[in-house]
Amino acid sequence: TALHHAADRQDVSMVETLLSHGADADRKSREGRTPTSIATANGSEEIVRLLTNRGGRVTIHAAAGMGDLVALERLVKEGIDVNRLDVQGQTALHAAANAGQLEAVRWLVEHGAWMDLTDDKDASALSLAYRNAFEMHVNLSRQSNAADLERKYKAVMAYLISRGAKPEFAYGIPQEQVQAHSKEVADLLIEAGPDMGLCHDSQATLLHRAAWWGKKKVVEDLIELGADIDATDRVGGTPLHAAVQEGCTSYWDVIEGPRVDVMELLLERGAKVDVANKHGRTPLHGAANRGDANAVNLLIEHGANVNAGDAENRTPLDLATGRGHQEVVDLLVSKGAKTVEERLGEEAGRHDERTPTPVSHGERNGTRNLVGRETPLHQAVYKGDIETIKSLIAQGADVNAKDRNNETPLGAAVYRGQKEIVALLLSHGAEVNNAHTGSDLLGCIPLHIAMQFHYTEIAEMLILAGSDVNAQGGYGRMTPLHLAFDNRALFALMLEHGGRIDVAAGGGMTCLHAAAMRGDEEWTRYLLDKGASVNLQDNKGNTPLHWAAKGGHGKVCRVLLDHKADIRIKNNKGLLPLHYAQASGLDDIVVDLTPKSR
């Protein structure tokens, strides 16, 4: 309704006008949210008071957001669970922290509120307080009350940290130090700069963040607090990688470049110089790629290997050359870096004439591209030139030759949807299960690619040729079966060829989890009829029933219950499907999800 929108925009004047004209303060939207719950989630205390004064139901979340301890006590005495979830998966503690209500936060924690429970966006009460404190810190010069609000939120942060809440964004500092120095940690969290999650879901430590944003004093303080100087983030990068600013390409346009002063501090304090991340890249790769001669020189002075190869066998010199950073190229060569030609020559010299080398292999298949390692057969596939492909095969070209990403001509043809070329290569013995090694497609076989682009006929050809329907690849570790989710015929074909219906992708999600999460009743029935396990838990402990209840999908819940879904299974937060059903307003199914009723 208009009142929902006004509450969401935090438009006090419009809320007053709508209420004066009889707007219903307690009406639920299709998602089950009331104007009061929206205002509470936004931390709009004034709007919450307006709504509750005009008949809006005072929920435990609203009471917490207003800091109303009397109402909190009354609601808990009436039997309201202090950890009750709203439709966003938030508790009253989230609401109190989001509004900077320190006394309400204290009251809730003392009455059993779970501090580390996260909402549907994986935010804890502490992280909500942190985000608001940081926003106020950024707006100090633009908002008159920003300093006061920052102090409020930081006080909430310090209290929660002192009680043992774990700041996921401070990962890397020993927990006992975090708890003992809660106020200092709260200050450092704000001063370290924006959350590295802005760049990627990085699992970055606070030291990574401070190094990334060039906060030398914060880096020093964190090291004194015991922060792990070589902690690795999700992609294996250390704080030294972060100081080089390697790994967050979407932000390169607004970042000045490597923070050489921070790099120097980290190296002086013992940071390892040659740690390779999951893509095989060392800090020197990053500095060379950025073209920063000072950073490159500093790393080499501290012992960096100038000839280290990444996962695609590219050295810092290759990256600097590719980017046209001539000063860095000259510096690296002067420090002993070897060119591509020198490295290939050395490799050839290590083999006798009877042993295939990249050079001799290239002679048999035509000249390879030295950087990409593609053969003429690859290049003919890129152009879709089927006559040249036939000619090369007739002359003995290797149909399974691999480029630097381990991609064969078949993989390249599938990627381009070239059905005739795929059939031709298969008829000449092309390997269907060759896995890609490039970072974006790591572990993917041609069938993954066909499914991703909905090349149904090509997918059928690959399956019938023996493709592994259970191979896992890509960031999500998905199988071709997962990617066939919207194609019943292909899904059935894969099951006939050995597809395992309960294989879990990244996050531990099976096909049944995905169907339940989407609220797809038809697919849920189909999967269960095909033998999908109804009670498997994902990495967060959620069963398909948890996901269906969380999404408010009552019909899917009913189907799962009819197939003996276990209502007693708790997820990693200790929550039952019942808790999510209550939050989603599934009143007609709550009784069936209550353990004592079974």
Total of domains in the chain: 1
Return the SS3 of 449: helix
The answer to whether the CB of 475 falls within 8 A of the CB of 506 is yes
Please report, in angstroms and rounded to a whole number, the separation of the first and last CA atoms in the chain: 39
- With respect to residue 248, please indicate whether it lies within any of the assigned structural domains: no
Number of residues that make up the chain: 598
The CATH number linked to 587 is 1.25.40.20
pTM of this structure: 0.53
DSSP 8-class letter at 354: T
Which pLDDT does position 481 carry in this prediction?
Answer: 87
Tens-binned pLDDT, residue by residue, of the chain (598 aa):
878 888 888 888 888 887 787 777 777 776 667 777 777 667 677 787 787 776 656 789 888 988 889 889 988 988 888 998 887 889 999 999 999 999 999 999 999 999 988 888 888 899 888 888 877 876 776 778 888 988 999 899 889 988 888 765 555 556 566 556 667 777 777 666 555 443 334 577 878 888 887 888 888 888 887 888 998 888 889 999 999 975 443 332 334 567 899 999 999 999 999 999 988 999 999 999 889 999 999 999 999 999 999 887 789 998 888 777 889 999 999 999 987 667 656 654 544 443 333 333 333 344 444 344 568 898 889 888 999 999 999 988 899 998 877 889 999 899 889 999 999 999 999 999 988 776 556 778 999 989 888 888 999 999 999 999 999 887 677 888 888 877 888 898 889 888 899 998 878 989 999 999 989 999 999 999 999 999 999 999 999 999 999 888 999 999 999 999 999 999 988 889 988 888 777 878 888 888 764 4
Which pLDDT does position 34 carry in this prediction?
Answer: 76
Q: How far apart are the C-alpha atoms of 286 and 243, rounded to whole Å?
A: 10
- With respect to residue 570, please indicate whether it lies within any of the assigned structural domains: yes
Number of H helices and number of E strands within the chain?
A: 36, 0
- With respect to residue 143, please indicate whether it lies within any of the assigned structural domains: no
The answer to whether the CB of 218 falls within 8 A of the CB of 205 is no
Which pLDDT does position 367 carry in this prediction?
Answer: 41
- With respect to residue 444, please indicate whether it lies within any of the assigned structural domains: no
CA proximity to 5, closest of 37, 35, 25: 35
Q: How far apart are the C-alpha atoms of 358 and 505, rounded to whole Å?
A: 36
Which pLDDT does position 362 carry in this prediction?
Answer: 36
DSSP 8-class letter at 473: B
- With respect to residue 565, please indicate whether it lies within any of the assigned structural domains: yes
What amino acid is encoded at 446 in this protein? P
- With respect to residue 480, please indicate whether it lies within any of the assigned structural domains: no
- With respect to residue 580, please indicate whether it lies within any of the assigned structural domains: yes
Q: Is 261 left (phi over 0), alpha (psi -120 to 50) or beta?
A: alpha
- With respect to residue 177, please indicate whether it lies within any of the assigned structural domains: no
For the beta carbon of residue 21, count every other beta carbon within 10 angstroms. Answer: 9
Query: How far is it between the farthest Cα atoms of the chain?
Result: 92
For the beta carbon of residue 123, count every other beta carbon within 10 angstroms. Answer: 20
> What residues make up the domain containing 550?
501-598
